[in-house]
Amino acid sequence: MSGDAVGMIEARFAGGIGGFVLDAAFSVPMRGVTALFGKSGSGKTTVLRAMAGLARVPGRLSVGGEVWQDSDGTFRPPHRRPIGYVFQEASLFPHLSVRRNLLYGARRAGRNATPIGFDEAVDLLGLARLLERAPDRLSGGERQRVAIGRALLSHPRLLLMDEPLSALDEAARGEILAVFERLHTALSIPVIHVSHDLAEVARLADRMVVLSAGRVVAEGTVAAVMERLDLEPATGRFEAGVVLTATVTGHDDRFHLTRLDLAGQPVSIPQVDVAAGEEVRLRIRARDVALATAVPAGISIRNRLSGRIAEIAASPDGPYAETLVDIGGARLRARVTREAVADLGLEVGAPVHALVKTISFDGR
């Protein structure tokens, strides 16, 4: 068995379930968060259920070098797959307290699993004050935190999350997003996270697999996939954009701003609690970027990044053109009209200034 296989999750499923045909294959690392992304009906949950063994789809699945399913008839049943599965609804045992729901997960832990202790899980998920409560006395976000804790305490090799934020209101979504960020930092368990929300993927995931009509249409790092201008039918136009990494250079307490270095150019965002020298992830939507061929004066937009047009993809039957701007190694997407492209004489290689409002960043 190769060292590469030990460090990878390799999935290939091809078959029909009811009237839906799945033909999807991908290979992702045994670390970090991989998002299965796509519109409703694209096959995301079907792939996740096949990985869990809950849906028997012909194919092959190898997790860290262990074959869980193969065309030779190998099929490890769900109860023998060391996974934690978090559903859209928390699905807690209503007759058990939070503590006993968590301990149920601990009792399912395999002997060879990498342990996370009860106290560590409680602290990580902020559950200490909830331990003696019944599930019906919890908010939606609290129930989902308990469900995550129960899954972690089963000591899985792989954590599967099926749109765990979709049933929550905005406040609870923010609460769980913060929990997921802590988990990403604290744990080494690989996560497969199903989502149809680009903002969620941009904030949480390291890699993404894009599905459309049961097929994989793109796979790679979040940054690389979101740069692609040819994926709009699968990713959608409204939230399309890029994810970039910038370094904090300081804070302006007077104006409540954080100053960043992005590919050697200054950027300002609403103030965040991150120390100078640390990195932050920025999501910049294509619709929030304007282009200019000369340095603008007397304008309220603070972020003005110099670059060159790297790619243009114009819609033949619509008013829009998607552009990719290289700003010194990093790339921005900008959505402009085809009329603007013609009027400004935009073409590949042309110098431009990308303008991004400070208030377009959400402060997270």
Question: How far from the centroid of its chain's Cα atoms is residue 198's Cα?
Answer: 7
Q: pTM of this prediction?
A: 0.86
In the predicted structure, residue 3 carries a pLDDT above the cut 70: no
CA 143 remoteness from chain centre: 21
Residue 110 above 80 pLDDT?
A: no
Instruction: List, for residues 142-158, the tens digit of each pLDDT value.
Output: 898 999 999 988 889 99
Query: What CA–CA distance (Å, rounded) separates 10 from 66?
Result: 10
Q: Three-class SS of residue 141?
A: helix
Mean local confidence (pLDDT), 324-338: 94
Task: Report whether 321 contacts 337 (CB < 8 A).
Answer: yes
Please give the pLDDT value at position 362.
Answer: 61
Distance CA 144, CA 183 (A): 14
Residue in 3, 237, 192, 183 with CA at minimum distance from that of residue 85: 192
Give 220-226's long-range contacts (Cβ < 8 A, gap of 24+). Answer: 222/35, 226/198, 226/202, 226/333
The predicted-structure confidence for 31-46, as pLDDT tens digits, reads as follows: 999 999 998 899 999 9
| Domain 3-82+158-232 identical in fold to domain 241-360 | no
Determine whether domain 3-82+158-232 maps to CATH 3.40.50.300: yes
Say how far apart CA 266 and CA 243 lie, in whole Å: 17
pLDDT at 356 exceeding the cut of 90: yes
Residues 216-245, mean pLDDT to the nearest whole number: 84
Locate the domains of the chain by residue range. 3-82+158-232, 96-156, 241-360
111 pLDDT above the threshold of 70: no
Using alpha carbons only, what angle is made at residue 331 by residues 325 and 334, rounded to the nearest 5 degrees? 50
Q: Are 147 and 138 in contact (CB under 8 A)?
A: no
- What is the structure's pLDDT at 4? 60
Q: What is the pLDDT, as a whole number, of residue 167?
A: 76
Reported as a pLDDT band with limits 50, 70 and 90, residue 83 is very high
pLDDT on residue 112: 47
pLDDT value for 124: 87
The share of the chain scoring above pLDDT 90, in percent, equals 61
241-360 is classed in which CATH architecture? Beta Barrel (2.40)
* 328's tokens: 């010194």
Q: Where are the beta strands (DSSP E) in the chain?
A: 8-17, 20-29, 33-37, 59-63, 66-69, 83-86, 158-162, 191-195, 207-212, 215-221, 241-252, 257-262, 265-270, 279-285, 289-292, 303-314, 320-326, 331-337, 351-356
The Cα–Cα gap between 89 and 144 comes to 7
Question: pLDDT tens digits for 338-350?
Answer: 999 999 999 999 9
For residues 62 and 95, give the distance between their C-alpha atoms in angstroms, rounded to a whole number: 37
